[in-house]
Amino acid sequence: MKKRIFSLILLLFALKTMASGSREKEIDSILNQTKELHVAAKMAPQLESAMKALDLSIEYGYDEGKAKAHFWAADALLNIGLFKEAFSHLQQIQTTDYYKKKTFLQSETHRLKGRVYLGLGLLRQAIREFHVQIAASGSLKGEIQSKSYLHAYGNLSTAYDWLGQPDSVLKYSRFQLDLLPKFHGKDSAMIRLGVYDDLGTLYTKKGDFAKAKFYLGKSLELIEQNKIPIYFNTYTYLGNLEQEKGNIKEALPYFFKSLANMKAVGDRNAMRDRYRFLGEYYEYYNLGDHQASKYHIHFKQLKDSLEKENKQILNIVLNQILKSKDVESATKVSKSVAFSIMAVLMLVIVITFFLGRSRHNRKVLAEKEGALQETENTNRALTEQIGENKFNNLVDLAKSNNPEFLILFSDLYPDFIKALKNLDANMRSTELEFCAMAFLNFSTKNISEYTFVTIRAVQVRKNRLRKKFDIPSEVDFNNWMRELVDKIDQPEVIE
C-alpha cells in the first residue's frame, strides 16, 4: 500500500514538473517578443506583452519570469512617462530570488531607478542610484560591463548638467571617451556619436567654441562614414553653436536640416518641439513675423494631435495595468482553488495511509491541523500590523534621510503635496521634503539631525519658506503646514 501511494505522489510530481517546464518556455517566448518590441521602441505593445508575461509568471510561480516581466514593464512605463508605476515595478523586481542572484539585473534595475528619479527631478537621488549601478557592475565582465559603465556615465553627465555643474559633466564625458575603444561595429558608431554630441554641447555652454566645433565635426564624420539614419541632434547642436557665437542667421540651415531629419525618421515629438523653437527663434530675433506665425501654427497643430494620441495611449496603458491587477486577483483565487483541491487529494491519501493506525496518530494529525490554523491566524495578525505600521515606516524613512521618504509621503498625503505645488509649481524636491517633515511635526533639532545639516541651516530654510508663503512670524511654522489643507488626515505627533 505504501508503494502505491509513493508511486502516485511521484507521478503527480512528474506531471507537475513537465507542465511547469512547458509554461516557463511559453513565458520566455513572450519575454523575447517583449524585448524585440523594446528595440523597436513600441512602448505600448511592449507594456502589454510584459504584463501578459507577468500574469502568467505569477499564475505559475515562475520567479525568473516575474523579475524580467517587471523589468520590461518598468522600462515601458518609464519611457511613457508614468514614473510612479515604473518605480512600483522596479520595487517588485527586488523581491524576487532571481534578482538577488543576477548582478546584471541588479545593475540594470538601479539604472532604471536612476532614470525614474531623473524624470521626477530628484537629481541627487538619481546620482546615488547611478553610483550604485556602477558598484553593481564591478563584477560583470567584458562588453556588458563596459556598456553598463557607459550608460551610468552618460546618465551622470545628464544629471550634473541639470544641476549646472559643468566640471562634473566633463569628468563623466571623459570617462565615456576612455571606454569607446572597447566598442566596435555599428553599435560603436552610435555610442561615439552620443558622446561626441554631448562634448560638443558641453563646450558650447562653456564658451569653448573651437573644442565644440571639433567634437561636433567628429559627429558629422561618423554620420557620413556609417550612414547613421538619425542625426537631428547633431545638427541641432551645430545650430546652437552658431547661435551662441552670435551667427543668428547662419544657425538656421542647421536647424532646418535637423527638422528635415526629424520628419524623415518620423519623430513627431521632436518635430513639435522644433516648430515651437523656430517660431520663438524668428520672433525673438525679428527674422520675420510671417515665418514665426507659420511655425507657431505648425507647433499648435502637431501639439494638439500628439496630445490626443498620447491620451489614447495612456488610456490603453492604464487599462492594461487595471486588467493586469484584475488578472492577478483572479489568479490568486484560482491558485487558492487549486491548492484546496491538492490539499483535499493529499488529505485523502493521508487518511487512506493512516486508516489502520492508532488513535494516537490521529491525535498527532489533529495537532498539526491546529498548528496550521494558528500559523494562518499569526499571518493574518502580521498583515494587519503591517497596515498599521505604514506611517511608522514613513517616519523611519525620514529619520534615515532615505530618498524614498518623499515618494511614500506623496502616497500617504497627496493633498498636502498638491496644495504646496499650487502655491509654487516649481518647488524643488528638497523643499517638498522639508515641508513634509514640518507637516509631520519634526522639530528644528530633529530636522537638523536627520538631514545632516546645522540647526542654523534649518532655521534659515524656515525663514525663506516663511517669506515665500507669507507665513507671519507669530504663527507656528509646523502648525501652518499641518493646517494648509482642510479635511486632511492628521499624522501622529512626533516627540
Condensed to tens digits (0 to 9), the pLDDT of residues 433-445 reads: 999 999 999 999 9
Instruction: Specify the long-range contacts of residues 464-469, CB closer than 8 Å, at least 24 apart.
Output: 465/431, 465/434, 465/435, 468/423, 468/424, 469/423, 469/424
249-295 tens-digit pLDDT: 999 999 999 999 998 878 888 899 999 999 999 999 998 899 989 99
Last residue of a domain, one of 270, 291, 324: 324
Distance CA 197, CA 233 (A): 8
Band (pLDDT 50/70/90 cuts) for residue 236 is: very high
Tell whether 102 and 185 lie within a shared domain. yes
In-domain check, residue 375: no
- Provide the pLDDT for residue 69: 94
Q: Among 401, 390, 392, which Cα is nearest to 430's?
A: 401
In-domain check, residue 407: yes
**Residue 2 confidence (pLDDT) above 90:** no
378-420 tens-digit pLDDT: 345 434 444 456 677 888 888 888 888 888 888 888 888 888 8
Distance CA 477, CA 484 (A): 11
Last residue of a domain, one of 283, 307, 324: 324
Tell whether 270 and 395 lie within a shared domain. no
Tell whether 396 and 305 lie within a shared domain. no
Tell whether 276 and 406 lie within a shared domain. no
In-domain check, residue 359: no
Distance CA 208, CA 202 (A): 9
Q: How many domains does the chain have?
A: 2
The pair phi, psi for residue 471, each rounded to 5°, is -90, 120
Query: Which pTM was predicted?
Result: 0.55
In-domain check, residue 386: no
For 141, the 3-state DSSP assignment is: coil
In-domain check, residue 373: no
Q: From residue 156, how far is each of 128, 134, 205, 433, 442 by CA, in Å?
A: 10, 11, 17, 23, 33
Distance CA 315, CA 16 (A): 38
**Higher-scoring residue by pLDDT: 273, 345:** 273
In-domain check, residue 62: yes
DSSP conformation letters of 146-210: HHHHHHHHHHHHHHHHHTT-HHHHHHHHHHHHHHGGG--HHHHHHHHHHHHHHHHHHHHHHT-HH
Q: Is the dihedral of CA 132, 134, 137, 138 positive or negative?
A: negative
Tell whether 168 and 265 lie within a shared domain. yes
Distance CA 223, CA 221 (A): 5
Tell whether 308 and 420 lie within a shared domain. no
Cell digits of residue 227:
550612414
Last residue of a domain, one of 324, 349, 366: 324
446-471 tens-digit pLDDT: 898 888 889 998 999 999 999 988 99
Average pLDDT value for the chain? 81
Distance CA 426, CA 198 (A): 27
- Provide the pLDDT for residue 410: 87
Here the CATH number for the domain that contains residue 311 is 1.25.40.10
Tell whether 320 and 396 lie within a shared domain. no
Tell whether 297 and 404 lie within a shared domain. no
Tell whether 193 and 294 lie within a shared domain. yes
179-199 tens-digit pLDDT: 888 877 666 787 788 888 988
Residues 6+ apart with CB under 8 A from 147: none
Q: From residue 37, how far is each of 31, 44, 137, 169 by CA, in Å?
A: 10, 9, 26, 32
Tell whether 314 and 442 lie within a shared domain. no
Domain span including residue 398: 391-482
In-domain check, residue 365: no
Q: In angstroms, how far is the first alpha carbon of the chain from the final one?
A: 67
Tell whether 294 and 434 lie within a shared domain. no
In-domain check, residue 343: no
User: Do 415 and 488 form a contact (C-beta atoms < 8 A)?
Assistant: yes
Cell digits of residue 159:
544629471
DSSP structural state of residue 180: G
Tell whether 306 and 395 lie within a shared domain. no
